[in-house]
A and B are shown apart, each in its own frame.
Chain A
Amino acid sequence: MIEPQGNVRPVVLIADDDDDILQLLAFRLERAGYEIVQARNGKQALSLALELLPALAVLDVMMPELDGYEVTRELRANEATSSMPIILLTARAQTQDAARGLAVGADDYVKKPFDARDLRERIERLLRLRLVGP
């Protein structure tokens, strides 16, 4: 579990167009000790990310407006968010989807249906890397 810095819980942006999954993610991650910001489509995710500069973003790949790949590309192109950890979530199972996700600059890739513990571990690992990294 992440050590909250000075009682400030890390902000995690989650984006998915499926409301049930969004609520599920929010519930799990709030329980894990994160401050959650929710977005229901790619456009909203992008503007919230740029506005709030969360510690990490979990983005669904297949979303209306902007998909997860495009949001990732936009965030990487912006100086303020170029090194923000990004985890892509997808229900598409093909290996090439994972490869594409990593190619546009995502840090990790999680297939749906996801295992809550596995996702939590990946988020923790990325945030830990951020704290010791550049």
Chain B
Amino acid sequence: MAGNPPRLTFRIAAYTAVALLFAAGAILWFVHHNTTSQAEKEVAARAGFVTRVLLQENDLRRSDFQRVVSRTRRAQLDALFRRAGALDGFLRANLMSRAGLVTYSTYHPLMGMPLAQRSAAYEDALSGEGVHTNGRLRDRFGRETGKKILRSDLPIRAEGAPPFGVIEIAQDYGVVTRSAHQTLYPVAGFLLLALVALYLSLMPILRRVTAAVEIRNRRLVEQAAKLERSLAAAQEARTEAESARRAFAEQNKRLRELDRLKDEFLSLVSHELRTPLTSIRGYLELVLDEEAGELNPEQRRFLAAVERNSGRLLRLVGDLLFVAQADAGRLTLEQSSLDVSELASHSVEAARPAADEKSIKLLLSTEPVPLLVGDRGRLAQVLDNLISNALKFTPQGGTVEMRTSSENGHVSVEVVDTGIGIPPADQPRLFERFFRSSVAADQAIPGTGLGLAIVEAIVQAHGGRITVDSEEGQGTTFRVELPLTAGSEPGETVEQAA
């Protein structure tokens, strides 16, 4: 690519030179043609002039053109044409009759030969016009084999009458050539100089133009290369994107399949765990209803423990299923308008027996709050869960209080206890599934670690948030904020079987 500029310059210079040489050749040919024909005319005019002089001086007679001249006359004519030999380039003169017979020639062997028969030039001459042709000097047999000549056939006639003969004068063509060259050479020289000057003055322009062209060429080549590179890159990117897309689609399909399997599994587990629990609790209920006979107090107490624990197992199954559904983003809310303060008072009343049992003071502090749209059952679950947590972690004689309030667009519920508190290190992980605070474990407080995860999932499904504020040994406050609309319209409330 680097070798291109000189090569291009050279090529253009060569083209220019060839073009100029052609032009010069054409000019020279034209000049040569013109000067030659000009010279021919001049030379022929001189022949005509000589002839007219000869005729005017009566040196040529009519009889000289009618038959081959006598020996005496031949000698006289020889002398006459020797005088005419002063004519530049004069080679020969022939006198010819109308029939074309040579009556006299300065070259004696031609005399008596019928040389001009069937010659167009000769016919033209006889019809009255002087004719000039190029030809060759004839040899003794009349063949045109000698040097190149300019031949002038001039008609000879009396005033007003048709020509009675023709005088043919042969002049050396070299005279014409010399004369033409006298004009041609200076023209050619001048032309050559002019062309060289033109060529030399063209060179810098040429170089500039080729340099510009070259730069543009190089730029185009670079652009083409760049374009090609970017095209290749784009192609590569497309291919990559395509394979990535395919991989994504594949992965997506796999994930969907896994998701489906998980759903199926959960459904199955739920079914498989609930079915035996149904029998256990059903028959337990039968016994407790004394359908199989009266129970003594001890039997009733023992069976109550079985009933309580099968209930716990059932709740655990429900919680697991719930968390899994929330994880899959499949939590369905059965929405309706509801009053959070009313829900709070229900929850507090339901928890009162448990609070009384532990001698915990359970307080409710509500204010009228706007109705909000949400799932009544799920939100009740949240409040029940928070209260039961508070009761679990508050020692005897403590206080648990539930407060409701509303401020710009959301309703807040706070559950405040004077319990054992949550160590700061545990607080960030509080809402993780199966996470249990170290104090809960230390004090052997029962639980699965699912309660708060479920609470958070429900609150978030309502577009709300839950925060915790706790000090070890002082107490804990859980605060739930719910927007007045859960983000969707209140839907049809499907009756939930108990």
Contacts and interface: CB of A to CB of B under 8 A. Distances in A.
Is chain B's binding surface mostly helix, strand, loop or mixed?
Answer: helix
B275 A118 contact: no
A32 to B, nearest CB: 12
Interface string B238-260: 00000000000000000000000
A65 B497 CA distance: 26
A108 B283 CA distance: 23
A112 B291 contact: no
Interface in A1-51: 18, 20-21, 24, 27-28, 31
A91 interface: yes
A24 B265 CA distance: 27
A125 interface: no
B271 A115 contact: no
Contacts of B291: 27, 31
B494 A92 contact: no
B277 A113 contact: yes
Contacts of A92: 267, 270-271
Contact of A116 (B273, B280, B285, B314): B285
Contacts, number: 74
A78 interface: no
A113 B318 contact: no
Contacts of A21: 275, 278-279, 282
A62 interface: yes
Interface string A95-123: 11011000000001111111110100000
B334 interface: yes
A62 B271 contact: yes
Nearest to A61: B271
Interface residues of A, number: 27
B497 A98 contact: yes
A41 B282 CA distance: 21
B279 A20 contact: yes
Interface string B455-473: 0000000000000000000
Given A31-B291, A118-B498, A93 B282 contact: no
Contact of A113 (B286, B314, B332): B314
B281 interface: yes
B279 A18 contact: yes
A112 B494 contact: no
B316 to A, nearest CB: 13
A91 B286 contact: no
B196 to A, nearest CB: 101
Contacts of A28: 282, 286
A1 to B, nearest CB: 16
Contact of B283 (A24, A62, A94, A114): A24
Interface residues of B, number: 28
Given A91-B270, A92-B271, A96-B332, A115 B498 contact: yes
B274 interface: yes
A60 to B, nearest CB: 9
Interface string B277-306: 111111101100101000000000000000
B321 interface: yes
A115 B267 CA distance: 21
A113 B494 contact: no
B405 interface: no
Contacts of A90: 271
Nearest to A24: B282
Nearest to B321: A93
Contacts of B325: 94
Nearest to A87: B497
Contacts of B321: 93-94
A98 B498 CA distance: 12
Contacts of B334: 95
B274 A113 contact: yes
A31 to B, nearest CB: 7
A116 B279 CA distance: 12
Nearest to B322: A93
Contacts of A20: 279, 282-283
Contact of A111 (B272, B286, B494, B497): B497
A113 B267 contact: no
A99 B492 CA distance: 11
Contacts of B318: 93
A110 B274 contact: no
Contacts of A114: 278, 282
Given A93-B321, A113-B280, A118-B498, 11 more contacts: A24-B278, A91-B273, A92-B267, A92-B271, A95-B334, A109-B497, A110-B497, A111-B498, A112-B274, A114-B282, A116-B282
Sorted from nearest, which 9 A-B pairs have the closest CB atoms?
A91-B274, A113-B278, A20-B279, A112-B278, A91-B271, A24-B282, A113-B281, A111-B497, A95-B332
11 contacts: A18-B278, A20-B279, A21-B275, A24-B282, A92-B271, A96-B332, A99-B494, A113-B277, A113-B278, A116-B286, A116-B289
